[in-house]
Amino acid sequence: MIQHLRKDFWSHCFLVILAFIALYPFIYMIITSFKTNGQFYSHFFGITFPLHFENYRLAWESIGGYIFNSVFVGVVSVLLIICSSALAGYSFARLRFLGKNFLYMSVVALLMIPGLLTLIPLFLLIKGFGLLNSYAGLILAFAAAGQAFTIFVFRQSFASLPEELFEAARIDGCGEMRVFLQIVLPLAKPIVGTMAIWNLLTIWNEYMMPLVLISDSSKFPITVGLIQFKSQFVSQTLYGPMFAGYTIASLPLLLLFIFTMRLFMKGLTSGAVKM
């Protein structure tokens, strides 16, 4: 180990400094989230004691509701995305029917369509359905937006399963639905998990869609809610609670990442490379 470190000394220097700079804004955020205004002005960069945990309580009172909204909308949308696109991915990967390639290409083509193109019409459409300012409208919009990429990755992954598995099941007279549920899904758990995380991440970060579709502040997800939250604390210049709020907004995903790290990184690289 030590020998390794010595051998790659300059590489390690380079990487450590770069990682520190990349992570510094978040380190600063966490340090500042424990400060009172007095500590903030007297020790701008350093860690100060005592740590003020009450900043977090104060911040949670304002953004707890937004976090709940994001979790609810995120989980329901991801379930919808995974269920529907796993079926579609299986169909594209393993079954034969007329027009399959055309349909598949029309799905892949969506990867090239910028989300901005559909933002205005989506707003008008959802307004037309009377779903503006509701969780349902937001969830449907998210579920549709996640389809193309998820189907694409699932198809790649299901297509690489060995054909013998399917032959055996089909000779036994298994229906396609049963083959899918009992053979494909258990084998595909890692990629399903990865895509669930990937979609949750995208939805958690999305700003424009909820900004346009939701106007009632009690239904805001965390991204839109944070803007409101920020203006509330900036006007009172309470920097501690403000940064505590930012930290809380990042915690759910950080926890998810910590618990699924290997799966997450593996899937990110395996799924997206082969285009």
Q: Which residues of 184-217 are buried (b: 16+ CB within 10 A; e: fewer)?
A: beeebeebbebbbbbbbbbbbebeebbebbbeee
Q: With CB under 8 A as the rule, give the number of residues binding other proteins.
A: 94
CA proximity to 134, closest of 215, 225, 228: 215
Q: How far is the CB of 97 from other proteins (least distance, A)?
A: 4
Residues 230-259 that bind other proteins (CB under 8 A): 230, 239, 246, 249-250, 253-254, 256-257
Nearer to other proteins, 1 or 50 (CB): 1
Copy the structure tokens of residue 7.
Answer: 């051998």
9 touches other proteins by CB under 8 A: no
Supply angle C-alpha 210, 212, 215, rounded to 5: 80
Among 68, 181, 208, 217, binds other proteins (CB under 8 A): 208
Among 48, 133, 147, 232, binds other proteins (CB under 8 A): 147
CA proximity to 35, closest of 244, 238, 240: 240
Q: How far is the CB of 75 from other proteins (least distance, A)?
A: 16
Distance separating alpha carbons of residues 28 and 44, to the nearest angstrom: 10
66 touches other proteins by CB under 8 A: no
170 touches other proteins by CB under 8 A: yes
Nearer to other proteins, 78 or 212 (CB): 212
Q: Which stretch binds other proteins (CB under 8 A): 48-56, 59-67, 187-195, 218-226?
A: 218-226
Q: How far is the CB of 96 from other proteins (least distance, A)?
A: 5
Q: How far is the CB of 70 from other proteins (least distance, A)?
A: 9
Residue 126 neighbours by CB distance under 10 Å: 21
Task: Give Cβ neighbours of residue 214 (< 8 Å, ≥ 6 apart).
Answer: 133, 138, 220, 221, 224
90 touches other proteins by CB under 8 A: yes
- Cβ burial of 144 (10 Å; 0-12, 13-18, 19+) is middle
Copy the structure tokens of residue 48.
Answer: 């100060």
108 touches other proteins by CB under 8 A: no
Cβ atoms of residues 202 and 146 within 8 Å: yes
265 touches other proteins by CB under 8 A: yes
Distance separating alpha carbons of residues 12 and 1, to the nearest angstrom: 13
95 touches other proteins by CB under 8 A: yes
Among 148, 153, 184, 191, binds other proteins (CB under 8 A): 148
Nearer to other proteins, 187 or 250 (CB): 250
Q: How far is the CB of 241 from other proteins (least distance, A)?
A: 13
